[in-house]
Structures are given as structure tokens and as C-alpha cells.
Amino acid sequence: MVVDEPATEVHLAKVLDRTAREVGDALRQLADEYTVQGRGFELRRVAGGWRFYTRAAYASAVEAFVLDGQQARLTQAALETLAVVAYRQPVSRSRVSAVRGVNCDGVMRTLLQRGLVEEAGAEPETGAILYRTTNYFLERMGLRGLDELPELAPFLPEAEAVEPDSLEGVPSFDPDAREPDADENE
């Protein structure tokens, strides 16, 4: 309850002078007990560690108490930008802007300030700064890892039938890709 980020089994094992397996088993047992007992909180495994959360049934009461009407929600632009980073990471601002079709510099600054994305090095070819999501992002989304992000396919528009190995008819969002000349199409 006093840590800023989820506590890992390895760290807890070190502090408690136990094996990580013993700690992991105990945490799973506690999580199950809290669920069976219907406690107002639950112990969840997220972002590579364990953390206490308010049980969903009581979330609105806790939100009302803690936030007292002051919620800082992300804008649609911020959510779209965050989604691009989450699914294409590590990714540069220019690539995010190309996917969204608008400049995302201001939105990226907001996501950085809120701790949802972070710098992840530089692109070797261009030197552009690359971005990725943070453990805080995973925690806020209630995910254990990026592999738990939902598949995108059900949310994409259905494309016209094309040959399986062909990219014909599939739009490119690569800002470095050049448009073919008219002469090349003939």
C-alpha cells in the first residue's frame, strides 16, 4: 500500500527473506481469499508486480471521495496517440503523426508529463527520439504486459479482397515511403 509502483515477487521475497515462489504463492492465495470474502479491495498482478486496487463494485464511491469531481481525462487525441504508441512501440513522433494524420507534438508532451509514455532511445537511421509506454500505463490499463492489449483486427475496417501476399489496396502510413510517380503506374 505504500509503494509507487507494483511490487514484484522478487523484491518482496528479498525483503521478507523468502523465495520468490513462496511469495508468489502467498500473493495468489491472498488475492483469492480477498475475492471469496468480498473485501472492498483486491490484490491484482499488474505491470510485472502486485498492487492493491479498489474492487470494481466500490470504485464509484472511492472515486467520489478521492476525486471529489476533479477528474483529468485524456482527450480523444491523447487516447489515439497513446494507442499508436502502445501498438507500434518503440515509435517516433513523426511516425505517430503519420498514422494519425496530424501533428502530435503537444499530445506527446502531455502523455510524457502524465507518465504514460517515456523515451526509449533514438532511431539509428534518423536520430529521432523513440517512445514507448510505461509501467504506469500498464497499471492504469490494468494490464500485466503489452501482450494483453486487445487485437486490433476486429476494430479495423474490412479491406477489399486482395491477394494474400499483395499489399495492393493497403494504405501506407510510413512517412518515409514515397508516392509512386505516375509513369511508374503505367
Domain layout of the chain by residue ranges = 9-67, 76-154
Q: State the pLDDT at residue 86.
A: 94
DSSP H stretches of helix in the chain: 9-16, 20-37, 59-67, 76-88, 93-100, 105-113, 135-141, 182-185
Is there a cis peptide before residue 90, judged by omega within 30 degrees of 0? yes
Considering the domain delimited by 9-67, tell me its CATH architecture.
Orthogonal Bundle (1.10)
Higher pLDDT, 133 or 185: 133
Percent of the chain residues past pLDDT 70, beyond the cut: 79
Task: Indicate the pLDDT class of residue 43, thresholds 50, 70 and 90.
Answer: very high
Residue 3 has pLDDT above 80, yes or no: no
Residue 85, φ and ψ in degrees, nearest 5:
-65, -45
Residue 160 has pLDDT above 70, yes or no: no
Please tell me whether residue 11 adopts helix, strand or coil conformation: helix
pLDDT tens digits, residue range 109-150?
A: 989 988 999 999 999 999 999 999 999 999 888 888 998 888
- Average pLDDT value for residue range 148-155: 80
Q: State the pLDDT at residue 96.
A: 93
CATH code at 76-154: 1.10.10.10
Q: State the pLDDT at residue 111.
A: 93
Higher pLDDT, 21 or 74: 21
Task: Indicate the pLDDT class of residue 54, thresholds 50, 70 and 90.
Answer: confident
Nearest to 145 by CA among 156, 155, 154, 134: 134
Same fold? 9-67, 76-154: yes
Q: How far is the C-alpha of 129 from the C-alpha of 131, rounded, in Å?
A: 7
pTM of the predicted model, to two decimals?
0.52
pLDDT tens digits, residue range 12-30?
A: 999 999 999 999 999 999 9
Task: Indicate the pLDDT class of residue 178, thresholds 50, 70 and 90.
Answer: very low
